[in-house]
Amino acid sequence: MSQNKYAESHVDGVSHRGKVERVLTRVSHNDWSALEPPGIGRWRPYRSVSVIIPARGGQERLDLTLACLAGQTYPEDLLEVVVVDDHSSPPLRLPRLRPGRCRLLPAPEGGRGAGYARAYGAHASTGDILLWLDADMVVDRDFVEAQVRWHHVHAETVTLGRVRFADTAPGSPAEVLSRIRAGTLHEQFGPCGEHDWVERLLRVSNDLRESDHLGFHAYIGAAAALRRSLYEAAGGVDPDLDLGQDTEFGYRLWQAGAVMVPEPAATAWHIGGAGTARTRLPSARYRTEVLAELMPHPHAYRERVPVHRRRVPLVRAVVDVSGAPYDLVRDCVDRLLAGAESDLVLTLVADWEGTGSGAPGGPRLDLRLIQANYLREPRVGFASAMPRTGFPSPFLLQVPVTWGLGQVALSRMLAGAERSRAGLTELLPAGPALPGSGVRLWRTRALARALRVRRAGEDLGDVVTEVHGRYRIHAGAETLTDLSLYRPVPPLPRTEPDPDGLVLPPAPEGEEDGPPPRQENRRGPGGRARAARGWLRSRLGRTLRRVRGPGRTRD
């Protein structure tokens, strides 16, 4: 196949976090069957690759890893290897048998751990494609090519190598390189251990083609590859996580719209048994105390985290309050915050610049009242523009300010979204619905995917439906309320203040204009002032009754 075929399969675009490559092939959910990579050994690569290896100690095993990379079928001029020495003692060194373009970078003093080493290596590398590899692994000669061929045809792919655990080392670096060139390295290993949960997930999901919202659990950073553009769009590896950074980064890749592809031809063997220290699996307590704060999924761990510690919410809700009166905003927002689903944050969108200046009344006054009311609410924030996605939250909820959600409305929408695996879940009012009416719950990964494949003039909802499906719920009166039907009582007409600073309504026809005739006060000192205040309250009461009309009472 020609180089041009793969060069034409992408164009530059923009994502929710920055520049990323827009793709033409539309993948439904995670069904990577729609992609057609070239056959191993039957194509001409052109993209540069950076292999990132975090390492702490273990010089002998690192020597084996670098010897394997020296025998890869991928073109040497397109292959770069970056080894990040995570404060080894004694410091690591580069062996004689290594790839032609290989660098050893000491990690800066300010950072430690596997997460920091991976992030630093990615930052210091130059390749179009990033490929992660542990420093105690040996790989066959097709390891790089088998994964990278997917990244030449689709910018969203994340390839997952096949990881095994070997009890015995395969020999010296020279022997390993000789076996790799002969294609016999696999004969060196007998039955090997594996990541049981990954193999189980692959079995039940048809190799991730039918995966649900937990498909990211198959991601293992010890042998995986992705485009640099997707790496940056997902925010990169968290340098503060020494343990569990693979799981957390895999979660963010999933929300960014990644298509995860298991690649059995890219086999890697850990040298040593699959103990807890080798697999670096976080304990259940660590997943609850640390990772669950950053990952709303899976729910089993998230439910144990108090609301105030949930750093990434399950739902990011957005309400555009531009031009809306204060009372209407209060009604909409308070209903949303009082709902049964508390794992959410709310962003109020309007032109907040200059709300403290200008005329004392009008729309600016409403915005100042809204800000003053919700400024101390920890779940409410303010923005001047609508977010494109909910990243890194799994869901983005768009609520028109004229709609009020019932107590369990959001919970019902979330349940429908998970049951149907839909990318767009709509809560519509009972009866005929006008286009755009109701409330929309977008799945973040579907929305991010649609933004990359949407053509000019296409409706975003239609594109999300094509790549991830749509689910509609017709709501009853207690689930969705049209707040535009409930208007607040208009304010009293304003008049010029009297010399004493009192504002009086105009006198109605047939009533004398002025205070009641002066009478002798029989209740002692201060009685005259009390009589004047009673007359004022009587006047105001009559005016309010006329404004409300018959049958209206005070709210």
CATH classification of the domain holding 210: 3.90.550.10
pLDDT at 284: 75
pLDDT, average across residues 269-295:
72
DSSP E strands in 203-253: the ranges are 223-227
pLDDT at 308: 87
pLDDT at 514: 46
Q: How far apart are CA 514 and CA 408, in angstroms?
A: 55
pLDDT, average across residues 38-47:
96
Q: Do 257 and 320 sit in the same domain of this protein?
A: no
Report which listed range, 162-176, 240-254, 342-356, is most confident.
240-254
Q: How far apart are CA 72 and CA 75, in angstroms?
A: 8
Chain centre distance of CA 233: 11
Q: How far apart are CA 495 and CA 153, in angstroms?
A: 71
User: Which comes out higher in pLDDT, residue 124 or 496?
Assistant: 124
| Residue-wise burial string across 305-318, b where 16 or more C-beta atoms lie within 10 A, e elsewhere | beeeebebbbbbbb
Q: Does 463 reside within a domain?
A: yes
User: Which comes out higher in pLDDT, residue 285 or 31?
Assistant: 31
pLDDT at 359: 53
pLDDT at 242: 84
Q: Where are the alpha helices (DSSP H) in 23-104?
A: 59-69
| Residue-wise burial string across 147-167, b where 16 or more C-beta atoms lie within 10 A, e elsewhere | bbbbbbbbbbbbbbbbbbbbe
Q: Do 375 and 465 sit in the same domain of this protein?
A: yes
Q: Which of 190, 90, 188 is nearest to 138 (CA)?
A: 188
Q: Which of 317, 479, 490 is nearest to 401 (CA)?
A: 317
Instruction: Name the helix (H) or strand (E) containing 473.
Output: strand 470-475
pLDDT, average across residues 393-404:
97
pLDDT at 23: 81
Q: Which of 15, 440, 442 is nearest to 258 (CA)?
A: 15
pLDDT of 7 > 50? The answer is no
Q: Do 238 and 382 sit in the same domain of this protein?
A: no
pLDDT of 475 > 80? The answer is yes
3-class SS of residue 193:
strand
pLDDT at 515: 45
Both tokens assigned to 256: 């960014």
Query: What is the SS3 assignment for 498-524?
Result: CCCCCCCCCCCCCCCCCCCCCCCCCCC
Q: Do 329 and 241 sit in the same domain of this protein?
A: no
In the chain, the N- to C-terminal Cα span, in Å, equals 74
pLDDT of 490 > 60? The answer is no
pLDDT at 549: 53
- The mean-pLDDT minimum among 215-219, 280-284, 402-406, 428-432 falls in 280-284
pLDDT, average across residues 355-380:
82
Kindly give the interhelix angle for 326-337 and 363-374, rounded to the nearest 10 degrees: 30
Q: Does 318 reside within a domain?
A: yes
Q: Do 424 and 334 sit in the same domain of this protein?
A: yes
Q: Does 302 reside within a domain?
A: no
Chain centre distance of CA 80: 31
pLDDT at 295: 95
Q: How many CB atoms lie within 10 A of CB 43?
A: 17
pLDDT of 523 > 50? The answer is no
pLDDT at 330: 96
pLDDT at 438: 87
The amino acid that residue 387 corresponds to is P
Q: Percent of the chain scored above 90 by pLDDT?
A: 66
Q: Do 269 and 372 sit in the same domain of this protein?
A: no
pLDDT at 435: 59
Q: Do 220 and 354 sit in the same domain of this protein?
A: no
Domain end point (choices 452, 482, 512): 482
Q: Does 60 reside within a domain?
A: yes
Domain end point (choices 482, 501, 524): 482
User: Which comes out higher in pLDDT, residue 477 or 328?
Assistant: 328
pLDDT at 131: 98
Q: Does 402 reside within a domain?
A: yes
Q: Do 78 and 127 sit in the same domain of this protein?
A: yes
Q: Does 288 reside within a domain?
A: no
What average pLDDT does the chain have?
A: 84
User: Which comes out higher in pLDDT, residue 286 or 351?
Assistant: 351
Q: Do 372 and 240 sit in the same domain of this protein?
A: no
Q: What is the pLDDT of residues 429-451, one digit of tens each?
A: 887 666 567 899 999 999 999 99
- The mean-pLDDT minimum among 28-32, 137-141, 165-169, 459-463 falls in 165-169
Both tokens assigned to 258: 């990644």
3-class SS of residue 30:
coil
Q: Do 218 and 367 sit in the same domain of this protein?
A: no
In this structure, what DSSP letter does residue 549 have? -
Q: What is the pLDDT of residues 195-204, one digit of tens each?
A: 888 999 999 9
pLDDT, average across residues 464-481:
92
Q: Which of 426, 445, 403 is nearest to 319 (CA)?
A: 403
Instruction: Name the helix (H) or strand (E) containing 175.
Output: helix 173-182
pLDDT band at 194 (very low <50, low <70, confident <90, very high): confident
Q: What is the pLDDT of residues 329-340, one digit of tens each?
A: 999 999 999 999
User: Which comes out higher in pLDDT, residue 153 or 14?
Assistant: 153
Cis peptide before 298 (omega within 30 of 0): yes
pLDDT, average across residues 7-36:
66
3-class SS of residue 456:
coil
pLDDT band at 283 (very low <50, low <70, confident <90, very high): confident
pLDDT at 19: 55
User: Which comes out higher in pLDDT, residue 35 or 496?
Assistant: 35
Count of structural domains, the chain: 2
Q: Percent of the chain scored above 70 by pLDDT?
A: 79
Contact call for residues 302 and 311 (beta carbons, < 8 A): no
pLDDT at 430: 81
pLDDT at 273: 58
Contact call for residues 519 and 531 (beta carbons, < 8 A): yes
Q: How far apart are CA 467 and CA 453, in angstroms?
A: 9
From residue 342, how far is each of 194, 279, 411, 529 by CA, in Å? 38, 35, 10, 52
3-class SS of residue 34:
helix
Q: Which long-range contacts (CB under 8 A, 24 or more apart) does 493-501 make?
A: none
pLDDT band at 367 (very low <50, low <70, confident <90, very high): very high
Contact call for residues 143 and 161 (beta carbons, < 8 A): yes
pLDDT at 433: 61
Domain end point (choices 448, 482, 516): 482
pLDDT of 135 > 80? The answer is yes
Q: Which of 101, 95, 100, 103 is nearest to 62 (CA)?
A: 95
Q: Which of 269, 259, 244, 116 is nearest to 189 (CA)?
A: 269
pLDDT at 492: 56
Q: How far apart are CA 9 and CA 41, in angstroms?
A: 20
pLDDT, average across residues 467-493:
80
Q: How far apart are CA 268 and CA 218, in angstroms?
A: 15
Domain that holds residue 209: 32-281
pLDDT at 322: 94
pLDDT band at 275 (very low <50, low <70, confident <90, very high): very low
Q: Do 219 and 326 sit in the same domain of this protein?
A: no
Q: How many CB atoms lie within 10 A of CB 367?
A: 25
The amino acid that residue 297 corresponds to is H
- The mean-pLDDT minimum among 316-325, 427-436, 464-473, 527-536 falls in 527-536
Q: Do 260 and 317 sit in the same domain of this protein?
A: no
